[in-house]
Structures are given as structure tokens and as C-alpha cells.
Amino acid sequence: MPIADNHVVTLHYTVKTRDGDEIDSSRNGEPLSFIQGSKYMIQGLEEALYDKDKGHKFEVMVEPEKAYGERHEQLVQKVPINMFEGMDVEVGMSFRATTDQGEQSVIIVDKDDEHITVDGNHPLSGQTLLFDVSIEDVRDATKDEIDHGHVHGPDGCGHSH
């Protein structure tokens, strides 16, 4: 069954940077299952999956515009440390911040005695990613899965909607 929208795709993957540094892999655990066309996966990988079948193995390079986007330096800001009064913040922490554009995830990238530098870019923004993929299974999504927007296990989805 060639992969198309509203198919449940189960796959193993390894993703690396262009330089070959491994970012993530499912190969030492359970494969990943999702509904094709639901925008669960980054655009470049989802596009590469169309028309592939169970058992297919391939590599695909995904440029930033079809992955996590380009970096935007205006999303890196130095803010006074007193904005975090009462909080024990450390470099690497992430949290939701209220901005003029609404809620946004930010990561603390630097800290000194007077300022904390936050970065609103996704950690992989600006990166070209190389995916090594093996397709383990392809099946039609059920009506409930399509309605709920996610894959259900053998006993349903495990929560109420």
C-alpha cells in the first residue's frame, strides 16, 4: 500500500545534522507511528514519504525551510534577570513566554548577574537534516484516528476527547 494521506505510517528513523552528528533515533526503541498528512512530521520528511511502501528504506536531506525554518536573530533577546525573580533558572531550561505575538516557547541560552538571554528559535532552526528511514508498516487510518488526529493503539487512544 503506497503511503498517502490518512494512512498510518509506522517507521524507524535516525536524524543527523549535515555534519553527521546524530540528533535523534527511534532504532533502540519502539518505531514511530503517525497519520500521514496530519502535519505531525516536518514537511520535508512527510513529502518524502508519499508513495513509499512497507519495507522501503531511504535517506532524505531536508533543508531548513521544510524542517524547522531559518534562524531569526530577533528571537534572541537579553532580558533583565529581575524578570525571573523567584525562579531558579539555568541555561538550557525551556518555558512558555508571553509575547506581543502570543505564547511562545523559549530556551535560556545564557545567564549572567544582570541578564538572561532567551532564544525563541527552535533548537534545530537553520539546520539541514539528514533522515535515514525504514518503513515498518502502512495501513489505512480508522475514522476515529482521523477524527482525533492521532494514531490509536489496539485498545483505543487511552483518553477521552
18-77 residue pLDDT tens: 999 999 999 999 999 999 999 999 999 999 999 999 999 999 999 999 999 999 999 999
How far apart (Å, rounded) are the C-alpha atoms in residues 129 and 61? 6
The range of the structural domain enclosing residue 88 comes to: 73-119
pLDDT band at 13 (very low <50, low <70, confident <90, very high): very high
19 and 85, same domain (yes or no): no
Q: Are 92 and 107 in contact (CB under 8 A)?
A: yes
Q: What is the pLDDT of residue 161?
A: 55
- Considering only CA atoms, which of 62, 58, 74, 78 is closest in space to residue 13? 58
Q: What is the pLDDT of residue 157?
A: 57
106 and 134, same domain (yes or no): no
Q: Look up the CATH number of the domain holding residue 144.
A: 3.10.50.40
Mean pLDDT of the chain: 92
Q: Look up the CATH number of the domain holding residue 104.
A: 2.40.10.330
Q: What is the pLDDT of residue 98?
A: 77
Q: What is the pLDDT of residue 59?
A: 98
Domains identified in the chain, total number:
2
Q: What is the pLDDT of residue 87?
A: 87
How far apart (Å, rounded) are the C-alpha atoms in residues 124 and 116? 21
Instruction: Report pTM.
Output: 0.82
**Residues pairing with 153 in the sheet:** 156
- Return the amino acid letter for 88: D
